[in-house]
Amino acid sequence: MPNYPYVAVVLDQSLQKPLDYAVPTELQTAVQVGMRVEVPLRKETVKATIVSLKTASSIPNIKPLVKLLGSTSELSEPLWKLAHWMAAYYASPMQKVLKCFIPPSLRKEVKEQKQWLYSLAISKEKAIELIGPLRSQNPLYAQILESLLQSPKKGADLRDELNISNSPMQTLVKRKWIGKSAVASTDLEQEEFFPSKPKTLNDEQKAALGDIAQSLHSDRFSAHLIQGVTGSGKTEVYLQAMAETLSLGKSAILLVPEVALTSQTIERLKARFQDKIAIWHHKRSLGERSTAWDMLKTGKSQIVIGARSAIFCPVQNVGLIIVDEEHDSSYKQSEEMPCYHGRDVAVMRAYIENAVILLGSATPSLESRRNADIGKYKLNKLLARASSALMPKVQIIDMQRAFEINGGFTHFSPELIDALKLRLEKGEQALLFLNRRGFHRLQMCPACQHTIKCPHCDLSLTYHKNANELKCHLCSFQQLPLSKCPQCGASESMQFRGFGTEHVERSLHALLPGIRTLRMDRDTTTKKESHEELYKQFRSHKADVLIGTQMIAKGFHFPSATLVGILNPDSALNIPDFRSAEQVFQLITQVAGRSGRSELAGEVILQTFLPKHPVINLAAEQDYEAFYAKELSERKLFSYPPFCHLIKITCLGPDPIKTEEAANHLRTQIEQHLPQDTQILPVSAAGHPKIKDSYRFQFVIKTIKIKLLEQILVNLSSPLPFRIDVDPTSTFF
């Protein structure tokens, strides 16, 4: 093997540019690109990643690296190519890109997740002899020994079974009555499942699977878009495509848009593929992620399922990548660089790995559908629901009329109340969707119209009744509600306005006493297993109604849910953003698709103040083709994606005047080198002008070819921090 006396590394922290280090003689044949190392920096030792091997260096008095952290590279050659592509395309330093590829579990050297297995350290006869007197002297010890007489138990299982802490178990270990040994956790062991067999496909599903299988056998890159109405059996096509991939000795990656979906999807995958699966998302502990990483890197797991960051996992011999609900905005990282889109990175990884990429959605993004129209993707349509289920009947309700009937404000039209009562009588379930959490949207003074805002963000504080606090949904600042106006001093006059999911739940209980409800929003899903618990509770019919934000809109399959109520989807249409219409159409279509997914007929009641709005009506009719044609013509007229690329550059700073000046300075730097077919728009305040005490000013660039701007963007300089967002999902916020 060749000797490399020098390496260039990128530090985990501090400097963004690569630094050169010497390699001790005994390590010169062992170093590899992508290997984790410790290097000296000033008076301390820091961790870094090798980005290149060198035979020479121009640095005088070069310091040697301290040690290698492992014997192999953490990134395969295809992943290195992907990292370099991301750094160029998203105009982001390699240090920031590597944060995506080298997870915290590796940066902190977290060991594989372990569990303790407890068993008897004495004979069964001796244990039985001890149990008798212990029943009166120390019942807990007796219970532990009795349980372990039957079989060895994991610590977590033993604690749950006997409702005890670790303390009595540790005492018995010290007495040498029981022993413990470490066992690896796969983080799938707690998932309940029943083995399942592939379902019989209908003709549309067979055609889609046939095209995918043909591509899998070709060993060449190909991209497929499955446009399937809600409930059309896209997941079954995914599962059978994955089975075909495994049969070829290859691996698969499945991306889902929300952590909330993983519980349901894991059930289905575990039932079909048993222990070949690893799970990857940010709510897993560092230890669990370390275990999953090792299983994928060593090939013990051939399937990974997770949110957008799962695309960076070290899956070996990738044959298939699936992006479910590919239109979903949660695949986009917008708050820090690199501002990547998980779907687009997945397409590029498939291209680099000569794999098949499969995008699925009932409402494909305009970019993906346009790619299918011009031949970049192979399009398969699933126009019928997979089982005997029919598409739900959708009824649009004019809420102005409902207000008149009620004599004032109401969440529920008479039609929705009657429909809810009918479901209760039949023992069926319902979903209520409102894309706003909290109890009241804001607190204000009616005397001077002053609204209580977050002191750190330019946003009204939302009232949460359960906690009796005003809370900022951007930075989580919280305070008690006010009784006196801080602006005009008016006393005992503060009022609440606007409503969220908490208020809907309270109002529903007032109208229908005894109704059982669950609520799924960010407030009820803060704990690690919250999503799974709520999903399983509703699936097992422990509630009649599930009330939620957009979390409940995506992919859930509840056979007993026959009614969906959509409450006030209008507000999003007023956001001055080129994607507003598309996002509202997708959201309504997806929510409506949760209804009537089995033999029971489904119904959707869509409550709106804009009953004549074309987007509302096209979504109610589930007419994607008409919406796509209308929206595409408007995008073409105003030159917006998919007919160009957008780049949003946001400058951030503590002073609004200096921040705006810095944004204009960045804009001038680009304007001086503006390529052809490129337009740069003026600087303006962001949709949320201030977040966490940081003011935000931004401008947007429209270009046909991003490559022409790559070098310009990399060389931008500013006295204030700034963020480059290539292909943003919003030009407003």
The pLDDT tens digits for 406-454 are 888 889 999 999 999 999 999 999 999 998 888 888 888 888 888 998 9
For 476-528, the pLDDT digits (tens) are: 898 998 888 888 888 777 888 888 899 899 999 999 998 999 998 877 777 65
H helices of 38-119, in order, are 77-89, 94-101, 104-107
Contact 534/462 with Cβ under 8 angstroms? Answer: no
pLDDT for the residue 189: 45
Residue 260: pLDDT above 70?
no
Six-digit token pair at 378?
Answer: 């192979």
Please check the confidence at residue 191 and state whether its pLDDT lies above 60: no
Identify the pLDDT of residue 187.
45
Q: Could you tell me which of 208, 143, 154 has the C-alpha nearest to residue 182? A: 154
Confidence at residue 537, expressed as pLDDT on a 0 to 100 scale: 86
Report the pLDDT averaged over residues 248-262: 82
Which DSSP symbol is given to 436? -
pLDDT number for residue 294: 86
Q: What average pLDDT score do residues 357-384 get?
A: 95
Residue in the block written with tokens 């993707």: 377
Q: How far is CA 562 from CA 260, 325, 419, 424, 606, in A?
A: 21, 22, 10, 11, 14
Taking Cα atoms as reference points, which of 289, 264, 278, 113 lies closest to residue 193? 264
Encode pLDDT of 666-684 as tens digits.
999 999 988 888 999 999 9
How crowded is residue 220: how many other Cβ atoms within 10 Å of its Cβ?
A: 10
- Confidence (pLDDT) at 529: 65
pLDDT of residue 579: 93
Contacts of 9 (CB under 8 A, 6+ apart): 18, 19, 21, 37, 39, 48, 49, 50, 51, 65
The yes-or-no verdict on residue 620 having pLDDT over 60 is yes
Helix H or strand E encompassing 517: strand 517-520
The chain-wide mean pLDDT, for the chain, equals 88
User: Torsion angle, CA of 215/221/222/228, rounded to 10 degrees?
Assistant: 90
Q: How far apart are CA 619 and CA 229, in angstroms?
A: 12
Q: Are 484 and 490 in contact (CB under 8 A)?
A: yes
Distance CA 552, CA 529 (A): 16
pLDDT in tens, 446-461: 888 889 989 999 889 9
In which band, very low, low, confident or very high, does the pLDDT at 336 lie, cut at 50, 70 and 90? very high
Starting at the earlier edge strand, list the strands of the sheet with 6-11.
19-22, 6-11, 44-54, 36-41, 67-68
**Residues across the chain:** 733
C-alpha distances out from residue 227 to 162, 235, 238, Å? 50, 12, 13
Cα-flanking dihedrals φ and ψ of residue 586, to 5°? Answer: -65, -45
Domains of the chain in start order, with CATH, are 6-73 (3.40.1440.60), 114-184 (no CATH), 203-382 (3.40.50.300), 393-437+500-634 (3.40.50.300), 645-726 (3.30.70.600)
Is 51 or 265 the better-scoring residue by pLDDT? Answer: 51
